[in-house]
Amino acid sequence: MATQIFVNLPVKDLNKSVEFFTQLGYTFNAQFTNEQATCMIISDTIYVMLLVEPFFQTFSTKEIADATKVVEAIICLSAESREAVDEILNKALAAGAIAPKDKVDYGWMYSCSFQDIDGHLWEYAWMDPNGMPQHQ
């Protein structure tokens, strides 16, 4: 069985977060959804658990970071093309995201960044492995 990853993120309003990510084209597993959490499907092996903050807090004794003020992590996902990078950024901005910086274009790598409605940082990147610079 392939290793799966479940990224857990605290959210202020679960319904608004589901609406935001639905506009980006993601779906959710109803089997793992209730008023406290949902399971967003990224791929067959990647999932994001969106948990309302009080429920998220039950999993840690540490304070929940305010992602609108501090960086907690950057979630980077691959895209199949440069156009797909632009498409996801456009969808995110239309759904209420903020782009904290300009797109990055190295020729062989093209990426964008945005903050979701809770301030979590997301990046989408396309890379051409044949165009990567060779390190010596």
Domain end residue (candidates: 19, 34, 60): 60
The answer on 39 and 78 residing in a single domain is no
The answer on 113 and 88 residing in a single domain is yes
Query: Distance (Å, rounded) from C-alpha 77 to C-alpha 136?
Result: 27
Query: Distance (Å, rounded) from C-alpha 30 to C-alpha 38?
Result: 7
The answer on 135 and 74 residing in a single domain is yes
The answer on 70 and 115 residing in a single domain is yes
| Model pLDDT for residues 12-28, shown as the tens digit of each residue | 999 999 999 999 999 99
Q: Quick count: other Cβ atoms within 10 Å of Cβ 97?
A: 23
Q: For residue 47, what are the domain limits?
A: 1-60
The answer on 72 and 38 residing in a single domain is no
| Model pLDDT for residues 52-100, shown as the tens digit of each residue | 999 999 999 999 999 999 999 999 999 999 999 999 999 999 999 999 9
CATH code of the domain covering residue 135: 3.10.180.10
Query: Distance (Å, rounded) from C-alpha 136 to C-alpha 67?
Result: 38
Question: Torsion angle, CA of 94/96/101/107, rounded to 10 degrees?
Answer: -30
The answer on 134 and 82 residing in a single domain is yes
